[in-house]
């Protein structure tokens, strides 16, 4: 019996970019349905006493991450650029507005295309995804209609994102991307295939 896989992603996360761009194809090949779950890592990091990404706090680990990401992106045939350490578009970018829109889009059927477009803008083009004008253009391209911003900023939608963050804590999630299969946690783009295998069993 095939089970579903939950894909938990944060828009500021480099490794989530790799998964967002490839999960639709890989999951289809495994015959596993995927639920896309946007959330925020800020509260998770905050609970560990960090006010930014651990890749910024721990320099050697951060340097390695950019090198590893470049190699992985090349392996997958994805364009990739290192984000600056400060100034506009600095890493980690603020994914709050994008996550709220993605929640709306996932309900309305344009969420996956929008999510891929946001990640490409961020990590292939180096644009700042906290820019609402950019995000609005990407929602339109993905097929959204009407006043997306109003729906994204409605209190009920903000609360849904908060609920996702609360649920991520309950699930033991501490980084992104993360995958949940039958309550079991898999962490990192390099565990996607393991998680899909488990879902297909």
* Binding-site ranges for a second copy (CB under 8 A): 48, 58, 60-61, 63-64, 67-68, 71, 75, 172-175, 184-187, 190-191, 194
Tell me, what DSSP letter sits at residue 131? -
From the CB of residue 61, how many other CB atoms can be counted at a distance below 10 Å?
12
User: Which C-beta is closer to a second copy: that of 1 or that of 60?
Assistant: 60
Task: Show the CA angle centred on residue 47, arms to residues 41 and 132, nearest 5°.
Answer: 30
In the bound complex, what is the minimum distance in angstroms from residue 119's beta carbon to a second copy? Answer: 22
Task: Show the CA angle centred on residue 193, arms to residues 77 and 183, nearest 5°.
Answer: 135
Half-sphere exposure of residue 10: CA atoms within 13 angstroms, side-chain side:
26
In the bound complex, what is the minimum distance in angstroms from residue 20's beta carbon to a second copy? Answer: 20
Cα separation of 19 and 76, whole Å?
A: 10
Cα separation of 144 and 51, whole Å?
A: 34
User: Which C-beta is closer to a second copy: that of 3 or that of 61?
Assistant: 61
In the bound complex, what is the minimum distance in angstroms from residue 72's beta carbon to a second copy? Answer: 9
Cα separation of 195 and 21, whole Å?
A: 17
Cα distances from 70 to residues 18, 83, 123, in angstroms, run 10, 12, 11
User: Which C-beta is closer to a second copy: that of 88 or that of 172?
Assistant: 172
In the bound complex, what is the minimum distance in angstroms from residue 190's beta carbon to a second copy? Answer: 5
In the bound complex, what is the minimum distance in angstroms from residue 170's beta carbon to a second copy? Answer: 11
User: Which C-beta is closer to a second copy: that of 55 or that of 114?
Assistant: 55
User: Which C-beta is closer to a second copy: that of 152 or that of 173?
Assistant: 173
């Amino acid at each position: 019996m095939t089970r579903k896989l939950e894909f938990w992603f944060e828009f500021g996360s480099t490794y989530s970019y790799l998964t967002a761009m490839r999960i639709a194809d890989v999951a289809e090949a495994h015959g596993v349905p995927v639920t896309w779950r946007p959330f925020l890592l800020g509260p998770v990091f905050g609970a560990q006493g960090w006010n930014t990404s651990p890749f910024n706090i721990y320099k050697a680990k951060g340097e390695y991450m950019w090198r590893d990401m470049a190699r992985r992106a090349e392996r997958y045939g994805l364009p990739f650029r290192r984000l600056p350490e400060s100034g506009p578009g600095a890493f980690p970018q603020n994914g709050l507005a994008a996550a709220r829109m993605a929640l709306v889009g996932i309900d309305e059927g344009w969420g996956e295309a929008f999510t891929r477009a946001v990640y490409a803008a961020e990590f292939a083009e180096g644009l700042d995804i906290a820019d609402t004008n950019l995000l609005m253009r990407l929602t339109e391209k993905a097929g959204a209609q009407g006043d997306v911003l109003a729906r994204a900023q409605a209190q009920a939608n903000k609360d849904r994102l908060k609920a996702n963050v609360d649920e991520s804590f309950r699930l033991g999630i501490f980084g992104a991307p993360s995958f949940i299969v039958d309550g079991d946690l898999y962490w990192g783009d390099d565990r996607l295939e393991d998680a899909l295998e488990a879902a297909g069993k």
